Structures are given as structure tokens and as C-alpha cells.
Structure 1
């Protein structure tokens, strides 16, 4: 069975490499006389990474892409995407643990992004894993220690 990555033929040119589900394109830097390289993940319209590119020996043209540079760019662009995904996950799934009534309660905010109808759910779980409460809240709800403690103190009444 072939994957979509296998269906795209590899290209290894001085200013364009397509391989392993990635495209590296050396482009003229719009801000100065230098060059830049843009890394695109297959199927994406926006680059995952854009960075400066080394000038060639003639000091006018860019250094040609090669396998070592391409592999390094793939690794760096993959790391950028991984960090972006981690940040997005952390933004959409927050948790804070507070002490209340001589027990520890973890309050979680889980946001479901949607262009038309984003939603969010606030939940409280004790140390034993038992769900104490769960309510729908605005996706703009700000979870912090004070809001978690206030929600617990209100006996889990839906925050306004």
C-alpha cells in the first residue's frame, strides 16, 4: 500500500527539493539582497518554516540545496510544527489543581475550536479520578487559580 507521500515524485534541484513529504524552496529574500528557504509540509499552503539561506561562492546566487541541508531543514521544520501542536494542545486543554475542603481537586478546561460554534467544558476531578462536576462554559472562559477556587466554592454552579 502506498501513502500520499510516496505518490509525489522526489525532486532534487539546486533551489527546490521535494522528498519525504516536504518541499524546500530557496527564494529571494524580499527584505534584502539575500536568499531565504521556505519549508512546506506536503498538502499545506503556508510554510512551516522560513529562514535565511546561505549565499553561494559568487556572493550573488544562493548555495544549492543538498541532502544534508534538506534533512536538517526537515528536522527543524518538524520540530517547529511539533512545538506549535503542543502549544495549541496546551491552549485548548488546561488544568489546574487546587486544595479545597482538605482534598485536592483538578479543574480542567477543554475547548473545542470550531469556526461556527466553538465550545468549552469545565470539569472538576478529585484525586481518585471521580468527576465531581462538569458544565458548559464560554470558550473565552479564563481558567486560573482564582476562577477554579471560585467555581469550587460556588459548589460547581455554572460560571457566568
Structure 2
């Protein structure tokens, strides 16, 4: 692999990245600012792909097609603009994944209680050995009125929340 000639203004300095001494700027491999971009041969056709890895992760956060070079055989070399675009896109993919996971593990419904509106919250704790969920009731002042441990398979809905409140916050069956 040959190293791409990069203008000194394109290379981040020590102030731009926490660990610039580990930075790599090669045609098919860039590592900087907690990310690694690796151009790889696309196994499904004659083209190329780029994989974006967040430092410390074994699986790529993003894999996408990569542009062919002028010779139509080799990939276009990575450059600072492409790298920054890839970092931005990969970070967005991770952010959306985290939001989706949070939505799956945290649910909230509101129901009327004896003293006003109550927010019923289900927080699932996905433990490999002992997964569980916490069902909590929060009053209009933000105070927790009740909290019980339930199976992670508990289905929170307006009806199940209403039944829990009506049953004086006894553990649901």
C-alpha cells in the first residue's frame, strides 16, 4: 500500500484529535479521531467498499460502496473530505441505532390516576443472565409513587398501565 500525498493543512494537528500520534493516512486506510476507514474488495462483485470502524469495535458501524479510481480497477484513494463525510455518516448510523435500542428498552404511557395524571414507565434491563424490567409510576410532580420488578416480556400499554394503577400498584401477573 502506498501512502497518499496529503497537504499539511489536511492532516489534523494534535489539537484536533486526542490521539493524533496513532493517525494513519493511506490510500486504503485512514485512522483518526476515534475512527478507521478501510477500503476493501467487494466480495459480491468487481467493485470496492469502505468499512467504518469506531475505535474498540470489532464490527463496522457502516459499510458502503466505494468509488473506482481512474484506471477502473483500483479504488479511489481515501482523502480528508471523504473521511470526514464517512465519519459523520457512521456516527449518525450509530446514533440512530442507539435511539432505536433506547426506544425498545424504554417505554412510557400516561394514564389518569386518583390525584391526577400518572406516567407509567417500563425500563428493560437486557442482562445476559438475568434480564428484567422495572415498572414505575411517576406523579405529576415527578415523584416516584411505585416501582416493581417485572419480567422483560411485560407488555406496557395504556390498558396494562391503567390496570396496574387501579390495582394499587401491586405487581402485575
- Whether TM-score is above 0.5 comes out as yes
Determine the C-alpha separation between the residues in 1 that align with 2:48 and 2:155: 43
Counterpart in the other structure of 2:8: none
Unaligned runs of 5+ in 2: 1-17
Determine the C-alpha separation between the residues in 1 that align with 2:23 and 2:43: 28
Counterpart in the other structure of 1:41: 54
Counterpart in the other structure of 1:132: 145
Secondary structure of the residue aligned to 2:168 is: coil
Among 101, 112, 116, the residue aligned to 1:88? 101
Counterpart in the other structure of 1:23: 36
Counterpart in the other structure of 2:111: 98
Number of positions where the alignment pairs a residue of Structure 1 with one of Structure 2: 157
Q: Does 1:77 align with 2:123?
A: no
Secondary structure of the residue aligned to 2:19 is: helix
Compute the displacement of 1:105 (Å). 0.8
Compute the displacement of 1:48 (Å). 0.5
Compute the displacement of 1:131 (Å). 2.0
Unaligned runs of 5+ in 1: none
Counterpart in the other structure of 2:5: none
Deviations for 1:69-97, whole angstroms, at most 9, x for unmatched residues?
00000111111111111222222222111
CA RMSD in angstroms, aligned pairs only? 1.8
Counterpart in the other structure of 2:15: none
Q: Structure 1 residues 67, 7: CA separation in 2 closer, same or farther (over 3 Å shift)?
A: closer
Determine the C-alpha separation between the residues in 2 that align with 1:51 and 1:130: 47
Counterpart in the other structure of 1:158: 171
Q: Structure 1 residues 8, 117: CA separation in 2 closer, same or farther (over 3 Å shift)?
A: farther
